[in-house]
Structure 1
Amino acid sequence: MKGDYQELVDEISTLLGTPATLENRDFGLIAFGAHDSDDDSAMDPVRTRSILTRKSTPAVRAWFEGFGITRATGPVRIPAAPDAGVYRDRICLPVRHRGVVLGYVWLLDAEPGPSHERLTAAMDVAARIGELLADEERAGADLSRELRAVLAAERGWQYDMAVAALRTALGPDAEGLHALVCVAPWTGEDSPSPRTVPGAAAVCALPWLGPAGPYAAGPARAGGDPDTAPGGGPHGPGRGRTRPAAGGPGTTRDPAPGPGPSSGASSDGGYAPGPGPRRALAVLVRLRSADNLSPAATAAERLRAAAGPAAVAGVAAPRRGLGELDHCWHEATAAARAAHAQPRLGPLAHWSELGAYRLLTALPQAEPDPAVRALLAPAHTELARTAEVFLDHAGQAGRAAAALGIHRQTLYYRLSRVEQLTGLDLDAGEDRLLLHMALKTARL
């Protein structure tokens, strides 16, 4: 963007035959033309300070604004004032867009001065600068309130009004291609400026009811715990289950034995319900192509790093326009929840790659199924972990035992304990399905 401003300032300098400088409406320097004159008076103290410090003093600003430059729609000639440090006459070209002044182009004036035709051409270039400044201002505007209103509203007239307000604020960008990103948990400022997030059109913070963050279960407890007793528990090998349960219909890609993140991890790594974080960050990211989500991934990774090691990010499927932002937010939050629940999906998860978690995240966040409630208690953490790994490996005892680092007889014993606690038959496909879904859902 700076290069675009510099090219336009150089174009004005060439048109009028004198160095030009561009400042925003707060008199902050944006770009300036080269000074190759041998005339020392070409650089009076005001211009020198502006270039060296990239801003003007409040006194200088007030003095120039006294000539009506904030209201002018055409060139304004300002006479020299040595007492104010202005040794040369100046011409100010107001930079406006849709009637709003966004900046000023400054030129040194000398007799006979540029012709009316050249000044008109320079004002046309200033209008192009105004379009760039307006685009940059719109892109960097804090639209957190508008985005939050859309994502917090339910379908109906309130949602439609919120979408219309966000569409107006975004201007032409509103009809472009976007992806919505969820970063959670968010522990930073309320909502960072979109200017600090690559490709972001709007950012806001929202309540988060998902998991608090990842946890890792400790190693299997040895000794008197009957759930984890080596060699089949305290009763010795062969007293527990003596055959593997029949395999399920498929297997996951994750061979990891640990339970990974859980929405309800207890202090000892169990599945007991626990409090989650209170906020997530929503980021609306502009895309150029539905096939390239790298802008969303870049924004998500930068914010996730700022949020800390417990944070994950979810990315919704890309959509054009703003009408389905509520569905996008469901997808982004679902992907973030899944990234917490399943390490192989995170720390950056895409809705399109969630697999079975697309269905699981759509389930109501209710109490665990009565059949598995006892199994999810902290006292039976290792049993629950064993059952999940066993089902993840399609009921193949050898692979499950290897992943858990235990003997097969220990595995069979634990599975028999799971059946006793739940009343489920691990030889029955529907019972295995219920147990597997309950264990996965407990993480969400």
Structure 2
Amino acid sequence: MDRTADLDDLLQDLSERADRRLIVLDTAARVVAWSIHESDDDRRRLSSALAHGDSWTLPAVGPDGFAVEDLPETGRCLVVPLHDHRHRVGHLLAALAEPGPPSAEEVRVLLDEVPALGVLLSLRTLYAERDRDRARSLLTALVAGDAAARPGAAEALVGEGLLGSSRQYSAVVLGADPAAGAPEETGRTALAVHRTLDFVASSSTASVVGATLDDGTGVLVFPRPVVGPRLARILARPDVGAVRAGVGPVVGSLLDVHRSFRLARRAWRTAWLDPSAHDPVTHWDDTGLDGLLALLPLESMTVEDLPRSVRRVLAAGLAPELLRTLETYLDRGGDAQRTAAALSIHRSTFYYRLDRLKERLDLNLDDGLTRRELHVGLRVARLARLRPAGP
């Protein structure tokens, strides 16, 4: 029988006997359970622990079995390590609002329950790990497995309470720069998934499921449209700042969420191909042409793969102002007036630069097909990182 709820019951009973607000942390200092926090000060301390606990360095504990520490944005707390039968599994925090050490009786009441709390925390951690493994297996089958595995995975995710039942689902793919290839970035991705799940659990009643896949990317499935700015705030924290997200379109059935996942993955790839042009949280519908170009094997492309007109531009060694003029002209569909306005230059200056471009490149820039070839080709060159430094 699942006894994880007993941790909350015991913690609340202990809080009332000791007349202290209590918080339980796991070994990574993440908040696992807490007693009722009624006052504004209590809720402020709890919010701080939820947001920043895993960045704390908890003190060493002396022979008395506890320590008193000023924790950032939380204040003075009694810190007691929790163990199961063999290992340390976390900490118990008791808020100390008043100056001075806690009384011997308060400490005794808390320490008497520490062994039971440690065992129950160990059980909760075990169940949480089991749920994470189960969610990862089911999510992989749902978004990346074969079609035959999807119905069973979808039924299990909803039936086991890992994901809410809904008429709308959306997938999110998270990850660091795929071109960097740094193994430690997988840890940042896993942390970003964890932070998002924690935020949803602490701020709503929604059931969102997430996991880190074998390739190091993270996946989240929401039973509703994804709020981009909210996800961006989660990813703005320094410890996950190297992670970007792609958001797939909303689908009407969990059986179709693999389509949302496929496009979310491409949106994530697009966000990293040109970070200056795309937001840290990029929705598929906002990727434009780049979302299509992301299908290309850009990492393996060379200059020789580009059209001859584009190769001429790259080989010409154009000054930054000329290259910017060319790109702006292409972006504005060959409209001289709009190009001059976008560059904040006089139209005669623009025409002077255009004549220089025609001479240097030996290309007919008045021809629409040539402009189209250059426009797309130069964009491919930038996404493939074949462009020289500059604009």
Question: If the length of structure 2 is used for normalisation, what is the TM-score?
Answer: 0.51
Q: Does 1:400 align with 2:389?
A: no
CA contact (8 A) 2:313 2:361 kept: no
Q: Hey, what's the Cα distance between the residues in 2 that align with 1:182 and 1:333?
A: 11
Contact kept? 2:171, 2:257, Cα under 8 Å: no
Higher RCO (CA 8 Å, separation ≥ 6 residues): 1
Letter in 2 for 1:54: V
Aligned-residue offset at 1:375: 2.0
| CA distance in structure 2 between the aligned counterparts of 1:344 and 1:363, rounded to whole angstroms | 18
Residue ranges of structure 1 left out of the alignment (5+ in a row): 34-44, 63-85, 96-100, 105-129, 208-280
Residue 390 of structure 1 and its aligned partner are, at CA, apart by 0.5
Contact 2:173 2:245 in 1 (8 A): yes
Aligned-pair Cα RMSD in Å: 5.8
Aligned to 1:386: 325
User: Of 349, 352, 364, which aligns to 2:285?
Assistant: 352
Query: Hey, what does 2:186 align to over in structure 1?
Result: 190
2:174 and 2:217 in contact (8 A); partners too: yes
The answer for the alignment partner of 2:128 in structure 1 is 137
Q: Which residue of 2 aligns with 1:296?
A: 231
Please point out which of 176, 181, 186 is paired with 2:173: 181
- Pairs within 5 Å for 1:3-402: 8-9=9-10, 52-56=78-82, 61=85, 102-103=120-121, 133=124, 137=128, 141=132, 146=137, 156=146, 160=149, 164=153, 171-174=160-163, 177-185=169-177, 187=182, 188-192=184-188, 193-194=190-191, 196-199=194-197, 201-204=209-212, 282-285=217-220, 287=222, 289-290=224-225, 292-302=227-237, 306-307=241-242, 313-319=245-251, 321=254, 324-325=257-258, 328-338=261-271, 340-341=273-274, 343-363=276-296, 365=298, 367-377=305-315, 379-380=317-318, 382=320, 384-401=323-340
Map 1:424-439 onto structure 2 (within 5 A).
Answer: 425-439=364-378
Once the two structures are aligned, what percentage of the paired residues are identical? 22
Length, aligned pairs only: 293
| Maintained 8 Å contact 1:335/1:354 | no
Q: Distance in 1 between matches of 2:267 and 2:161?
A: 29
Provide Cα deviations, 1:262-287, integer angstroms capped at 9, x if missing partner: xxxxxxxxxxxxxxxxxxx6333354
> Is contact 2:66–2:81 with CA below 8 Å preserved after alignment?
no
The one-letter amino acid of 1:393's match is R
Structure 1 contact 183–300 (Cα < 8 Å) conserved: no
SS at match of 2:171: strand
Which amino acid in structure 1 is aligned with residue 162 of structure 2? D
Structure 1 position 420 matched with structure 2 position 352: no
SS of structure 2 residue aligned to 1:375: helix
Match of 1:127 in 2: none
Query: Residue 339 of structure 2 aligns to which amino acid in structure 1?
Result: A
CA separation of 1:303 and 1:143: change in aligned 2, threshold 3 A: farther
Which secondary structure does the structure 1 equivalent of 2:311 belong to?
A: coil
Tell me, what secondary structure is at the counterpart of 1:299?
helix
TM-score normalised by length of structure 1: 0.46
Please report how far the alpha carbon of residue 360 of structure 1 lies from its aligned counterpart in structure 2 after TM superposition.
3.3
> CA 1:427/1:420 → structure 2, altered by over 3 Å: closer, same or farther?
same
CA distance in 2, matches of 1:135, 1:433: 58
CA change 1:93–1:297 in 2 (3 A) is same
Distance 1:298 1:179 in 2: 18
Cα contact 1:372–1:438 (8 A) shared by 2:
yes
Other structure's SS at 2:186 match: coil
**Higher radius of gyration, 1 or 2:** 1
Mark the CA change 1:296 to 1:368 in structure 2 (over 3 Å): closer, same or farther: same
Residues 178, 287 of structure 1: 8 Å contact kept: yes
Contact 1:198 1:299 in 2 (8 A): yes
Q: For residues 334-377 of structure 1, what are the alpha-carbon distances to aligned partners after superposition, in whole Å with 9 as ceiling and x for unaligned? A: 35425643735334422122233333334554522344223234
Q: Deviations over 1:81-138 (max 9, x none)?
A: xxxxx99xx999989xxxxx8549xxxxxxxxxxxxxxxxxxxxxxxxx8xx489826
More helix by share: 2
C-alpha distance in 2 between matches for 1:22 and 1:387: 61
Tell me, yes or no, if the aligned pair for 1:191 and 1:205 is still in contact at 8 Å. no
Secondary structure, counterpart of 2:282 in structure 1: strand
Alpha-carbon distance in 2 for matches of 1:403, 1:337: 25
Q: Is residue 329–residue 339 contact of structure 2 (8 Å, CA) maintained in 1?
A: yes
| Runs (5+) with no aligned partner, structure 2 | 37-62, 68-76, 87-107, 199-208, 384-391
Matched residues in 1 for 2:285 and 2:121: separation? 44
